[in-house]
Amino acid sequence: MRTVRESALLIALLFKRSEKTRARISGLTVKKLSKRERLKTAFVTNLTDELDDLGIVLVELDRGGFGLIYAHLLNGAPTVKAQTLLKNDLNDIKKHRKTFKDIENELSDGSNDDDDDNDDSF
């Protein structure tokens, strides 16, 4: 079994050598690189922290596996402002004209998922 740091270094090297700015990595690949039979929550949490120290954001994906993106790429991302985009919603919630169920419904009907089917398997 490799340490969390060793596992993070291998994942970071894999990501760097891919020459991609974002990628997916399977849970199986993480298991193999870390020499673990199971990916326990504590390990994934610590791995996320170690990769963050290396400038990489690790996100667990709903459909399995993990997403990787370089943190510095988010520095140029556009700012989203609650004052502009949620002002009416916050007012409607305050006045009981809108519920959080309404927000859940809005979030579920127009998903912005990026279905890029590149799979980085070991």
pLDDT of residue 11: 98
Question: Does residue 88 share a domain with residue 41?
Answer: no
Question: Does residue 61 share a domain with residue 29?
Answer: yes
Domain extent at residue 87: 79-109
Contact 47, 9 (CB under 8 A): no
The pTM score is 0.73
Question: Does residue 90 share a domain with residue 60?
Answer: no
Question: Does residue 44 share a domain with residue 26?
Answer: yes
Question: Does residue 35 share a domain with residue 84?
Answer: no
pLDDT of residue 42: 96
The pLDDT-based confidence of 122 (bands split at 50, 70, 90) is very low
* Count of positions (residues) in the chain: 122
Number of domains in the chain: 2
Tell me which range, 45-49, 71-75, 114-118, is most confidently predicted by mean pLDDT.
45-49
Q: Residue 84 domain-assigned?
A: yes
| pLDDT tens profile 8-26 | 999 999 999 999 999 999 9
The C-alpha atoms of residue 121 and residue 119 are separated, in whole angstroms, by: 6
Task: Write a three-state SS string for 51-112.
Answer: HHHCCEEEEECCCCCEEEEEHHHHHHCCCCCHHHHCHHHHHHHHCCCCCHHHHHHHHHHCCC
